[in-house]
A = this chain, B = another copy of it.
């Protein structure tokens, strides 16, 4: 395993500071000593990425697809070494890590298919109208072009699917942007293995070695990376504090750059009355399992349940209590996260009007699932109860009536998701609520749970602030590629210079809008 940084395809360790990962199960430090990147190394990675950009931006969709597929192959070739390391560094069960590897590789292959097909560049052509009165129209053609080197911050809770070769990296590479990854201090070995796989793939595909780099370090390393003027965009998945800090840093540069930060949310579930009557027990079980999935360490973890006060609501809370009591306690990703979970849960339980219905202790770094309840008015008056609790915790907010439920919904922060559980009659009655939730969230779910984010063209994983830093873009699904490309228009460009996507004969046969009409001609 490479314990150095990887810059220009080679190990690099100019610094003296060492960091190590922990095993959350044994609570031991893992033996490998990773070297933190110096400022000079950070800047060198950016320079090499920019040099690579000048070559990589011209690679065809076919070439980029081959690269992405080779990365997936190389990751699979790592076999159990990768799986075991990721399990050791995260405490996540092997099945979950296997699933994440599958998701990571199919994500890479999905983006490969996307860029090989080619229509994603959104080619729009308005041909010249030399006879137009009063002024002739010139020929104008535009398409998306890669932004340049992208900094990717890996996520603690997804060691594979949102990390070194995860969604941000895959979509940036697919767009034609070199990637510089800042590894997460909690899974340095997993990062090193995947980074090496990417470097091998770049070599095999004959790509410039600056197309990918991996840097180890803490907050300062990341800041140095975002400050580098050659970096043109940032992908981040993590806490609000971390995301907001990077967002501010990037906007205060002489040349501000976009930061796509996914910062988590409460993902409220609104449980409507008729549904409550007919489906209380199975719904309680479904929700409890969603809250406890992966020890509640998902950005789409449902942290708030909204109900109208009634006998049925009380019966549901009993079913929910029972379901929570039979949930297993799972290991959390690390000591810091575990400590924060306990601390936040305590703060909530001591807040005005909050009662804990389930609140146990668990051994070691395990998280015992917890269930709280609070009245809408107490919730309404305490902004802190909208802070995301990262872990298997949810809070039922009891509203007096429909009006109060709508008032609370109106006061919610921006969310990645919002869910309605209801019958057809419920939905008919709560139409206005559905509309309000579409304003508050990036994805509105009906009779499902927010955990489980499908990777597909229609997915939108990006809600209003503070759930993400830009609700106009998604970090999951094929449209994630749009974050890393910008339109460039070419006016009266000679046919011989035109990018292949914009040539008259449409040699790639991609979808284009020509003179206002969609087509493949």
Known: A457-B126, A458-B141, A511-B518. A445 touches B491 (CB 8 A): yes
Q: Of A204-212, A250-258, A311-319, which binds chain B?
A: A250-258
* Interface bits A119-150 vs B (CB < 8 Å: 1, else 0): 10000111000000001011011100101100
Interface residue? A352 (CB, 8 A): no
Q: How far is the CB of A488 from chain B (nearest CB, A)?
A: 5
Mask of A445-476 contacts with B, CB within 8 angstroms, 1/0: 11110001010111110101110011110100
Chain B residues contacting A452 (CB-CB under 8 Å) are 135
Complex alpha-carbon distance, A424 and B496, angstroms: 9
Residue-by-residue, is A413-447 near B (CB-CB < 8 Å gives 1, otherwise 0)?
01000000000100110010011001101111111
* A491-B438 in contact given A124-B458, A454-B126, A460-B142 (Cβ < 8 Å): no
Question: A491 CA to B258 CA in the complex, in Å?
Answer: 28
A140–B458 touching, CB < 8 Å: yes
Contact A493 B444 (CB under 8 A): yes
A158 at the interface (CB under 8 A from B): no
Would you call A465 and B140 a contact (CB within 8 A)? Answer: no
Partner of A137, one of B251, B434, B454: B454
CB-CB under 8 A from A424, the residues of chain B are 494, 496
Known: A427-B497, A460-B487. A247 touches B256 (CB 8 A): yes
Residues from chain B with Cβ under 8 Å of A380 in the complex: none
Q: Residue A486 at the B interface, CB < 8 A?
A: yes
* Cross-chain contact B142 with A491 (CB below 8 angstroms): no
Counting chain B CB atoms within 10 Å of each CB, the highest count among A147, A256, A469, A496 belongs to A256
Contact between B516 and A457, CB atoms less than 8 A apart: yes
Which chain B positions have C-beta within 8 A of A247? 251, 256
Cβ A493 vs Cβ B456 within 8 A = no
Q: Which of A428, A443, A472, A479 has the most CB of B within 10 A?
A: A472
Known: A434-B497, A492-B448. A125 touches B458 (CB 8 A): yes
Q: In the complex where A138-B454, A140-B456, A442-B489 touch, is A465 in contact with B256 (Cβ < 8 A)?
A: yes
Contact residues of A between 502 and 521, Cβ < 8 Å to B: 511, 513, 516, 518
Q: List chain B residues, Cβ under 8 A from A218.
A: none
A126 touches B458 (CB 8 A): yes
Closest CB-CB distance, A412 to chain B, in whole Å? 12
Q: How far is the CA of A466 from the CA of B458 in the complex (A)?
A: 33
Contact with A444, one of B256, B491, B511 (Cβ below 8 angstroms): B491
Do residues A443 and B491 form an inter-chain contact, with CB atoms below 8 A? yes
**In the bound complex, CA of A414 to CA of B119 (Å):** 27
Q: Which of B142, B248, B454, B518 contacts A251 (CB 8 A)?
A: B248
Most buried by B among A248, A469, A516: A516
Contact A496–B256 (Cβ < 8 Å):
no
Q: Which residue of B lies closest to A518 (CB)?
A: B511
A428 contacts across to B, CB distance below 8 A: 496
A459 touches B140 (CB 8 A): yes
Q: Report the bound CA distance from A186 to B193 in whole Å.
A: 62
* Distance to closest chain B CB from A109 (angstroms): 14
Q: Which of B427, B444, B448, B496 contacts A496 (CB 8 A)?
A: B427
Whether A497 pairs with B431 at a CB distance below 8 angstroms is yes
For A124, what are the chain B residues with a Cβ–Cβ distance below 8 Å?
A: 457-458, 479
Beta-carbon contact of A470 and B258 below 8 Å: yes
Contact yes or no, B444 A513, CB < 8 A: no
* A119 neighbours in B (Cβ, 8 Å): 518
Nearest-CB distance from A229 to chain B (Å)? Answer: 11
Within A14-53, which residues are at the interface with B (CB < 8 Å)? none
For this complex, 9 residue pairs linking A to B, each with C-beta atoms less than 8 Å apart, are: A135-B452, A137-B456, A142-B459, A444-B493, A446-B490, A446-B494, A448-B491, A460-B487, A511-B518
Q: What 4 additional pairs, Cβ within 8 angstroms, besides A140-B443, A457-B516?
A: A126-B457, A137-B454, A442-B486, A458-B513
